[in-house]
Structure 1
């Protein structure tokens, strides 16, 4: 889609793409926001969407000082149940992490279950979609022991 000025010949009409216009607007907005933040202005940064990791940190309960029993209430909230809010076709295609992805996830969590805090072996660890479950569009996951994974998906 283009915008043209009335009364000009086709060759002389400046054409501005709608995407160029939107890009300029967004660029100006981001520049002004960055300028306001750097100048110490009181900017409401909570209007800017947070990435998944920031959400996970904000939603997580404070880590317990001592590990809890496996398969019981711990640092993570239980998953919702039901069909989910995102159509299956629109969900993250990679539902299960690769072996390398799981190993990296465990390493980032000091080889501990994100729920109970106990040390876990690779073969006893599963990836749990958190803070948003896969059926709700979640793409991030944390390592949990098998007992906690069962607990986090259980009814009670």
Structure 2
């Protein structure tokens, strides 16, 4: 595998989730997520898988790999991995693979990630899940601030080692 990336949207204070979901709706971020990850394997935790509406499981156009410690877990359209290492072994040979959540998996994967695609949201929200620190990650691209059709200000930021 040549590159492992992580992709998330982050509000002020590093908030990436609340109660198993995202406490905002930014359609432009969802489109960016689709464009960036399309055609590549995506690796996620079980709770992230379960947070998707049924009609989006599995995420189309991507191999869906779900990391769970539960050996009996299975879902149509998903490959189960018992660990991050096992998930990465399943995508060996792919040009890119994307870690797509949740917070625990992001934190565990930071040592193997080559690129971060972060949608920064100019938004204060309460949340129970936070992104890992991006300290020490050089910014290699930063988009202009834009306004979502839902009224939330956002921009796309890329970090690469």
Asked if Structure 1 and Structure 2 have the same fold, meaning a TM-score greater than 0.5 normalized by the shorter chain, the answer is no
Q: TM-score, normalised by structure 1?
A: 0.23
Rg larger in structure: 1
Question: Which structure dedicates a bigger proportion of its chain to helix?
Answer: 1
Question: Which structure dedicates a bigger proportion of its chain to strand?
Answer: 2
Q: TM-score, normalised by structure 2?
A: 0.22
